[in-house]
Amino acid sequence: MTATTTHTPAGRSGAADSGQRSPVLSARGLVKTFGKVVGLDGVDLDLYPGEVLAVIGDNGAGKSTLIKCLTGALAPDAGELFLEGKPAQFKRPQDARDAGIETVYQTLAVAPALDIASNLFLGREKRRRGVLGSVFRMLDQKGMRREAAQALADLGIGTLQNVAQAVETLSGGQRQAVSVARAAAFGSKVIVLDEPTAALGVKESNQVLRMIEEVRSRGLPVILISHNMPHVFEVADRIHIQRLGRCAGVVTPASHTMPEAVAIMTGATTLEETPGRTAG
């Protein structure tokens, strides 16, 4: 147990813009093992307000395990989580969601046959006011459609005009947009995106990257897991590099080049050997 570890945010401030602000979400000494396989071997992570923190790493580096521990899909064996400085424990994905952490899964948790508005509100539908809502449990369809249209417009998705359209009639990028919009509409503290551009083409990927920037501009921090270095370097403020279950370092697009980050990620070099340009 690393119970005595202090959780001040000053620990790892390699980033230029982290300054003196306190992190929204931080993890200290996360350990997760699967039998003899070590998924996470004491990982620290800090997410600051209004930043996009990318998490990169080779297959098996512990990216997914790390994210699952942060979002309640897995319970870490050891280590602590702090949400806005307060200790947090997520036993189920729903716990993290209730705490304000919204996750967009790689498998896109959408119901294809339901329309866009229904998908945005899936699992937290709004009911009509008065007797219609309380006794007859009637949904406020109009209200949900209006808010869904607003949520999409807020993210600059003009192409999805009709929120009464079934999700299965949408392209991959549009479905991704619905998932991100859903997270952005309900995530009050943190948004986690797991490989949001993995299945998308160039144009659709750009749309999702613009949405990430839009979410950030509202002050909502984003954790972005991605394999795609150009995408990471385009939108990330800081980059958390996972390697063999540990954090091999946190760099920024200003301090390191793409090849340098990849070299650290694959173990060809280390952060000590390649400190990068000191930003600021």
What's the rounded Cα separation, in Å, for the pair 182 and 116? 10
- Categorise residue 32: left if φ over 0, alpha if ψ from -120 to 50, beta otherwise: beta
**Residue 279, C-beta contacts closer than 8 angstroms, at least 6 positions apart:** 16, 252, 254, 255
- Is residue 111 close enough to count as binding other proteins by CB under 8 A? yes
Report the alpha-carbon distance of residue 168 to residue 165 in Å, rounded. 9
**If binding is defined by CB under 8 A, does position 106 make contact with other proteins?**
no
**Residue 262 touching other proteins (CB under 8 A):** no
CB atoms closer than 10 angstroms to residue 30: 27
**Window contacting other proteins (CB under 8 A); options: 5-13, 47-55, 91-99, 269-277:** 91-99
189 binding other proteins? (CB under 8 A): no
DSSP state of 268: S
Only one of the segments 114-122, 147-155, 220-228, 264-272 lies at the binding site for other proteins (rule: CB under 8 A); that segment is 114-122
Specify the amino acid at residue 158. Answer: G
Distance (Å, rounded) from C-alpha 30 to C-alpha 172?
34
As measured in angstroms, the least distance from the Cβ of 111 to other proteins is 4
Q: Of the listed pieces 36-44, 57-65, 107-115, 145-153, which binds other proteins according to CB under 8 A?
A: 107-115
- Least distance to other proteins from the beta carbon of 84, Å? 22
Looking at the Cβ atoms of 16 and 139, the one nearer to other proteins is 139
Question: Is 124 a binder of other proteins (CB under 8 A)?
Answer: yes
Distance CA 263, CA 222 (A): 24
- 105 touches other proteins by CB under 8 A: yes
For the four alpha carbons of 111, 116, 122 and 126, in that order, the dihedral sign comes to: negative
String marking each residue 197-226 x if it binds other proteins according to CB under 8 A: -------------x--x-------------
- Give the alpha-carbon dihedral of 201, 149, 164, 182, to 10 degrees: 60
What tokens were used for 147? 């808010």
Rounded to a whole number of angstroms, the minimum distance from the CB of residue 104 to other proteins is: 10
User: For residue 12, which of 31, 27, 1 has the smallest C-alpha distance?
Assistant: 27
Subset of residues 25 to 84 that bind other proteins, contact rule: CB under 8 A: none
Scanning residues 127 to 166, which ones bind other proteins (CB under 8 A)?
127, 136-139, 141, 156, 158, 165-166
Task: Establish if 112 lies at the interface with other proteins (CB under 8 A).
Answer: yes
Catalog residues that contact other proteins under the rule CB under 8 A.
Answer: 93-94, 97, 105, 107-114, 118-119, 122-125, 127, 136-139, 141, 156, 158, 165-166, 168-170, 210, 213
